[in-house]
Amino acid sequence: MTKMSQTAPISKQQLEQAFQLFTQASQRLADSYTELQLQVEKLNLQLAAANSGRMQQLAEKERYAHRFALLLDTLPAAVLVLDSAGRVLQFNPAAGALFAGLSQGDAWEEIYRSQVRMRQDDELHLHTGRVVSISRQALQDDEEQILLLLDITAALELKQRAQRQQRLSAMGQMAAQLAHQIRTPLSAALLYSTHLGRGDLSADQRQRFADSSRTALLQMEQQINDMLAFTRGADVDRSQQIDLTQLTSEVNDTLAPLAAEHGLTLGLEIETATPATIRGNRSALLGAVINLGRNALEHCGQGGEVRLRLTESGEEWRLLVSDDGPGVPEALRERIFDPFFTTRSQGTGLGLAVTQAVLLGHGGSVSVERNGSGGARFIAHLPKAENAVATDAEEPANADDTPILRRAV
């Protein structure tokens, strides 16, 4: 008879331990499930908030897009969007009104060729007579471009009208000032001419009245010539090549007798290591610089000194005229180049105005400052000539490249 094995019975304590372990596992599972539910609820809330924010952003973008579309439609400036091939992708009503027959897909090059009469800087002159300013901006990594065109026809007409009125006003003012300037010598000439008709004059008196009348007439002629020179100053023929070294020496030679007559010293310095050449009108520039020198001589006292100096600075030549007179007060430095402004009772007020006009016509300028002695220093700034070729009359630079120094008294 076979003997069967027997299993030991489970004790009450073991059952209680097993049940306790089962209870603990169940509790942990329930806690994990509860925590998972909380996480799911939290994620649902976050997702709902994100969806709400995205919907708000989309709604805001739609509002912006709608407002931008309305703005683009009502914008008075013409707007065109071009693709990478230069064809019209989009345009607003102002562009359609500006370019007749404009439609999507048109090539901008064809529109430009058929409707633009000419281009001047950033302005397009259309065949319709309108004038528009144009600006271009790249979009989306240069794949597309946006063109902005603003109709400036009315603004240009107003500007031209204002400029015409300004010119007429200036012409009227200058005419009145010229008439005022001429009145004195004209009255003197008429008075002297009237005396010449008297029968009781001696030969000496008749000659004196004739000389005085001639002087008054010459003064009027000079004023008229100065006015003509002033009006021509801005339109200078710059086809001639001018050697400033020779021109400065000629100014010195012209002013030397006048300086000697008034007991003044005239000095000349040429400080250039390279040929001093510019393009311009030699006679006009010579007269302008002589005006500066004559002005300096007239403001020097007895025994005074005037110095002419030619030098270079960067891309320009500088011709300096200095005197040891009283100088120009700072308050008057902006006015002394105005036509008919003068501080001398016998001055016409056109000499410095002519000088400024001529220098501006040569692409330069003129300025005034106080020199070391307290007098005035006028500086004529002249741009260097491009591709200037030395002439046979120019003096070679010294071997050691030191500035050439010349002085004349």
Last residue of a domain, one of 128, 151, 174: 151
390 within domain boundaries: no
Co-location of 260 and 376 in the same domain:
yes
Tokens representing 87 are 């064809």
SS3 146: strand
Co-location of 210 and 142 in the same domain:
no
**C-alpha angle with apex 367: 366 to 369, nearest 5 degrees?**
155
Task: Report the distance separating Cα 302 and Cα 322, nearest Å.
Answer: 16
* Region of residue 86 (phi > 0: left; psi between -120 and 50: alpha; otherwise: beta): left
Longest dimension (CA), the chain: 194
For residues 155 and 183, the answer to whether their CB atoms sit within 8 Å is no
Tokens representing 322 are 């200095």
Co-location of 93 and 185 in the same domain:
no
Co-location of 141 and 260 in the same domain:
no
**Which run of H or E residues covers position 133?**
strand 131-139
**C-alpha angle with apex 307: 309 to 323, nearest 5 degrees?**
125
288 within domain boundaries: yes
Strands of 265-270's sheet in order across? 265-270, 305-313, 316-323, 376-383, 365-370
DSSP secondary structure letters along 290-324:
HHHHHHHHHT--TT-EEEEEEEEETTEEEEEEEE-
Residue of 242, 237, 240 whose CA lies nearest to 394? 242
Task: Report the distance separating Cα 150 and Cα 363, nearest Å.
Answer: 33
Kindly report the backbone phi and psi dihedral angles of residue 107, in degrees, each rounded to the nearest multiple of 5, phi listed first. -80, 130
Residues lower than pLDDT 50 in the chain: 1-2, 4, 387-409
Rounded to a whole number of angstroms, the CA Rg of the chain reads 45
pLDDT of residue 406: 36
Q: Is 264 exposed, middle or buried (0-12, 13-18, 19+ CB in 10 A)?
A: buried
| Residue type, position 231, single letter | T
Task: Give the CATH number, domain containing residue 134.
Answer: 3.30.450.20
Half-sphere exposure in the Cβ direction for 238 (13 Å, CA): 20
Co-location of 244 and 376 in the same domain:
yes
pLDDT of residue 389: 38
Give me the torsion for CA of 58, 63, 64, 65, rounded to 10°.
90
257 within domain boundaries: yes
401 within domain boundaries: no
SS3 55: helix
305-313 vs 265-270, strand pairing mode: parallel
Kindly report the backbone phi and psi dihedral angles of residue 315, in degrees, each rounded to the nearest multiple of 5, phi listed first. -100, 20
For residues 317 and 276, the answer to whether their CB atoms sit within 8 Å is yes
100 within domain boundaries: yes
Co-location of 278 and 377 in the same domain:
yes
Count the domains in the chain: 3
Last residue of a domain, one of 89, 117, 151: 151
Cα distances from 361 to residues 137, 174, 199, 232, 387, in angstroms, run 37, 20, 53, 9, 20
Residue of 150, 146, 120 whose CA lies nearest to 134? 150
Other CB atoms within a 10 A radius of the CB of residue 258 amount to 16
pTM of the model: 0.46
Residue of 353, 248, 350, 365 whose CA lies nearest to 306? 248
**Residue span of the structural domain in which 119 resides:** 78-151
334 within domain boundaries: yes
388 within domain boundaries: no
**C-alpha angle with apex 156: 153 to 162, nearest 5 degrees?**
145
Co-location of 171 and 247 in the same domain:
no
- List beta partners, residue 136: 147
